[in-house]
Amino acid sequence: MKMNKFLFAMMLSASIAVVSCKPKDADVKAAVEKTISANAALAGVVVDVKDGVATISGELKNEADKVAAETAAKAIKGVKSVTNNITIAPVITSNPVISATDVAISAGLRDLTKDLSTVKYAVKDGVITLTGEISKAKNVAFTQAYMALKPAKVERTGLIVK
């Protein structure tokens, strides 16, 4: 009886040893998720584990967070390697726009309207006022060009597109 108990204990510890050597993917996944969720900056990261290979995906704010997520996943026991499919969210800034000077805008418009004799312009305090008429074909290129002159505003209700 005593021997049997000893054997049973041996077998039990052996089976535990096997489990701890080869953790189940589901357990590894849970462990990686737990570590990642501890860092608020890594919210939204999706974890998947297959045969010890962890795949992390989702969208994060910057490269540092992407690396942090990978480092966190690598540190988990049972993770052989990490496939990092995390993308970085594109950034939109909202910095104030500084308009060009009236002199610079006027010089640009003088050049732009050289071949557009039917277009008249005036510039004051960064505001371009356009009058006259322009062909539909030339309107696109002209609009692109005057907007590149960095005006504060463009009043063009007096400009007829034909």
Partner 1 sequence: MALQDKYKQLTDAALAAGITDLNVVEQGGVLHIDGTAPSGTVKDQLWDIFGQIDPNFATGDLILNVNVSTSAAVTKVRVTTESSNLNIRKGPGTDQPIVGKAAHGEVITLVSQSSAQWWLVRTDDGEEGYAFTQYLTPEG
Q: What is the DSSP letter of 18?
A: H
Interface with partner 1: number of residues (CB under 8 A): 34
CA distance 116 to 37: 61
Our finding on whether 12 is near partner 1 (CB under 8 A) is no
Q: Report yes or no: 82 and 74 within 8 Å, Cβ to Cβ.
A: yes
**Region binding partner 1 by CB under 8 A among candidate stretches 37-45, 49-57, 63-71, 135-143:** 135-143
Of 35, 106, 131, 139, the residue at the interface with partner 1 (CB under 8 A) is 139
CB count, 10 Å around CB of 75?
12
Check if the beta carbon of residue 130 is closer than 8 Å to that of residue 106: no
Among 38, 40, 77, 96, binds partner 1 (CB under 8 A): 96
Q: Which of 58, 112, 131, 132 binds partner 1 (CB under 8 A)?
A: 112
CB of 17 to partner 1, least distance (A): 51
Q: Report the alpha-carbon distance of residue 82 to residue 49 in Å, rounded.
A: 9
**Does 103 help bind partner 1 (rule: CB under 8 A)?**
no
Rg of the chain, C-alpha, whole Å? 33
Which residue, 4 or 157, has its beta carbon nearer to partner 1? 157
103 vs 126: CA distance, rounded Å? 9
Q: Tell me which stretch binds partner 1 (CB under 8 A): 6-14, 17-25, 46-54, 146-154.
A: 146-154
76 vs 159, beta carbon nearer partner 1: 159
DSSP 8-state secondary structure symbol assigned to residue 89: P
Residue pair 54/73 in contact by the 8 Å Cβ criterion: yes
For partner 1, give the closer residue by CB, 35 or 129: 129
The footprint of partner 1 (CB under 8 A) covers 90-97, 107-108, 110-112, 114, 136, 139-141, 143-145, 147-157, 159, 161
